[in-house]
Structure formats: C-alpha cells, structure tokens
Structure 1
C-alpha cells in the first residue's frame, strides 16, 4: 500500500503548481464494472475548463483497505477528495457515509 501511495504522490506533486485563482482537487471513482478505485487530479484555472488527469488505480477492491489508504493520503496532501460512485456506502471502520448526495423530492 505504501508503494501505491509513493507512486501516486510522485505523480501528484508536479501537477500541483499552486497557481493563483486555480482550483485543485482529487476525484476518487468507484469502478464497479471493473473492480478498481481510480484517482484523478482535477485542475481548473479561473474562467477556464476543468482538466482531469488520471493519477493511479487501486486494483485491490476492498473498502477497508481503501479507507486506510485515504487516511495515509490525507497525511501527505490537504487537497479535497471528491467521491464518485459511492452512493449509499459507508466506511467499514468509522461507519461514516462516504458520498453525500442531496435528497431529491420526487
């Protein structure tokens, strides 16, 4: 797991350039059809389109291991993490909801 973290940080660091009026965040996508978790770096300068750059895929499709990996990742970066494809799922250790979705009135 630390090998994955080192590889991801090596790819992430050159992309985070700390430019003014630029928004940076990570996306974590749950790929259910090919069991994997995919990380993307998102960059959006003011008044420009968003770019999404693939960083790394975790093929160990285990939610408990992912929770541990996210904890390690948060120790190395303070970027916001956007979760995609985790509706109605909870972290095994903390039992917290992973992805919040606003409730729709039908």
Structure 2
C-alpha cells in the first residue's frame, strides 16, 4: 500500500493548488473489467470546464485495501470523493454503502 498511497498523495499535491473559486474533488472508479481502481482529481474553476486528471491505477483489487488508501488520503486532504462502479457494495470495516445509486453517465 505504501507505493500506491505515496504516488496518489504526491500527484494530488501537484494538482491541488488551492486556487480561489475552484472546486477540487477526487473520483474513484471501479474498473471491473481490468480488476483495478482508478483515481482521478477533478478541477473545476468557476465559469470554466471541468478538468479531470488521472492520478493512479491501483491494481490490488480488494475493497479492504482500497478502504485503507481512502482513509489515509482523507487524513491528509479533506476533499470530497465521488465513487463510480460501486453500486450496492459496502466498505469491509465501516459497513457503509460506498455508492448508493448510479450516476447519469454510468
């Protein structure tokens, strides 16, 4: 986990510049075909288009591993996170639903 977490945190710090009137949030996508989790940072300046920057692909396809990574990211950055492809799944430790309903583009 150290390698994946280090890469994600490093790339977040490069993209998260804390500009005024700009929304930042993370997006985690469950790629069930390749059995990977993909991380993106989405940046939306006011009045401009959304920019989605790929951060990293986690190849360890276990929800418990992903939950630990998410918890460590949230310790350092208190960003909002959207989840895609996790409908009906629960976190192994917290036992909370990851994604309650599908998004329009899913």
**If the length of structure 2 is used for normalisation, what is the TM-score?**
0.91
Match of 1:8 in 2: 8
Give structure 1 regions of 4+ aligned residues with deviation exceeding 2 angstroms.
none
Structure 1 gap segments, 5+ residues each: none
- 2:93 paired with 1:100: no
Superposition pairs for residues 15-94 of structure 1, below 5 Å?
15-94=15-94
Structure whose CA Rg is larger: 1
**If the length of structure 1 is used for normalisation, what is the TM-score?**
0.91
Aligned residues: 102
Structure 2 gap segments, 5+ residues each: none
Q: CA RMSD in A?
A: 1.1
Deviation sequence 1:31-70 (CA, Å, 0-9, x none):
0011000000100001111010000110000011111111
